[in-house]
Amino acid sequence: MLTMLPPARPARQALLFAPALFIAISSIARSTGEWNDFRGYIIAGEALRQGLYSDHVSNTWPPFFSLFAAALIELQRLPAPAARVLWGSFNAVIFGIACARWFVASRSMEAPLWVAPAAAFAIAPFLALHLVTHQVYALVFAMAIELFIAAQRGDDAAAGVWLGVSASLKITPLLTLPYFLLQRRWKLAATACATAALCSLAVAPALGMRGDIDAHLRWIRRAASLRGTHGVRNQSIEALVERLTTGEAKLEVSGIDPIVSLNQPTADRIGKVLSWLLVLGGAFALRRTRPIEAAPPLLAISVLAVPYCWRTQLIALAPLLFVSFRRLRKPDLLDVLLLLPFFLAVVEREPGLIGLDNFLLLEGAGLTAALALLLILDALRLRHRETLRISPEDSGGAIPARTA
């Protein structure tokens, strides 16, 4: 489901993907009941069609997303179950294609037969939740993958367009920009800024120029005021800090008592500082790493470093999980200590396996966020061996990889 099949033994490879594929198909089938998060998209799209920018509580996206949402309203012309299956299938397919393209671009066909299916199975619960709640992040993730593929082959203009469009839909891809700036890829950055500006102007015909500016100012103020929430589906760094320091998670019958007691504003500031340190530190650590190799940790960082990281957005960990599983062939001790705990969370992520109370306790404590950070830290470790084997001809003029 997540990667293209290697040329050898395709039937066996396809069979290994069956468990992950079953989870995806069953989640699409379960998504026909109601629109869930898609209702927020409809509200934003309908408001734009009326010449307004929606300030509904569900709308935390940049104004350009409203233009995209206005087009999605056309799905309502179909019978509701058919529309929901179509939307879920589209997201599952676009996610699978994106992972397949990264897999091929990274020259990972040499990986053991079990690695890609294992990574697909590990990410499948997140993808299932994404499909059941009718989320849109699979499309943003696919655009981010195209960004790194284009950057890998040296096409900075195309990479900049992908970055500009994806960041105009959802802010998370923008957090990969420091990496490209440290690589001095000025054309990519300039193209991304120009594309984002055009996307911002695209809503002017509906809102008017003054309304367009006002919509962006309102969105900036709202984005700046976001803080980590204690809802168990939010696994951001900010939410993790607040869970461990304020004790507010206990109010939702989830989580643990604070390890260190802090007031809410202090916890928010610490969470934001740690998030930015991870963004900038990751970019600096990977500045001499080729884009296709840097993508797994950078994509993971981008979703964890924003105030809201819903569990549906953790599908961005798919490439990182693949790399992590692959390393388990010949792990060193630190690999084992940093990687294996996350795979234990595969069981925890399914409430039916451990009981709802235990699920709320562990997710309320931020277990998935904490273990995902261990994966990222392992990927950022300065080491002499390459994370992925990528041939020099694929570098596209990018900074050469570290040698073994």
Residue 145 · residue 101 · CB < 8 Å: yes
pLDDT at 150 over 70: yes
How many whole angstroms separate alpha carbon 390 and alpha carbon 208? Answer: 48
* 310 beta partners: 234
Give the residue, 36 or 296, on which the prediction is more confident.
296
In this prediction, residue 349 carries a pLDDT of 65
In this prediction, residue 395 carries a pLDDT of 41
Give the residue, 303 or 327, on which the prediction is more confident.
303
How many whole angstroms separate alpha carbon 125 and alpha carbon 346? Answer: 8
In this prediction, residue 5 carries a pLDDT of 42
- Residue 247 forms part of a structural domain: yes
In this prediction, residue 148 carries a pLDDT of 98
In this prediction, residue 6 carries a pLDDT of 46
Residues 248-259, mean pLDDT to the nearest whole number: 71
Nearest to 364 by CA among 277, 227, 278, 252: 252
Residues 248-258, mean pLDDT to the nearest whole number: 70
In this prediction, residue 399 carries a pLDDT of 44
In this prediction, residue 252 carries a pLDDT of 64
- Residue 341 forms part of a structural domain: yes
Query: 64-122: per-residue pLDDT in tens?
Result: 999 999 999 888 889 989 999 999 999 999 999 999 999 889 877 677 888 888 899 98
Number of domains in the chain: 1
String of DSSP letters for 115-171: HHHHHHHHHHHHHHHHHHTT--HHHHHHHHHHHHHHHHTT-HHHHHHHHHHHHHH-S
Most confident region among 61-70, 178-187, 303-312 by mean pLDDT? 178-187
User: Coil, strand or helix: which one is 18?
Assistant: helix
In this prediction, residue 336 carries a pLDDT of 77
- Residue 391 forms part of a structural domain: no
Least reliable range by pLDDT among 96-105, 218-227, 369-378: 218-227
- Residue 88 forms part of a structural domain: yes
Nearest to 129 by CA among 40, 24, 22, 2: 24
Domain containing 277 equals: 10-386
In the chain, what percentage of residues exceed pLDDT 90?
A: 48
- Residue 70 forms part of a structural domain: yes
- Residue 1 forms part of a structural domain: no
- Residue 395 forms part of a structural domain: no
- Residue 394 forms part of a structural domain: no
Nearest to 384 by CA among 321, 332, 318, 322: 332
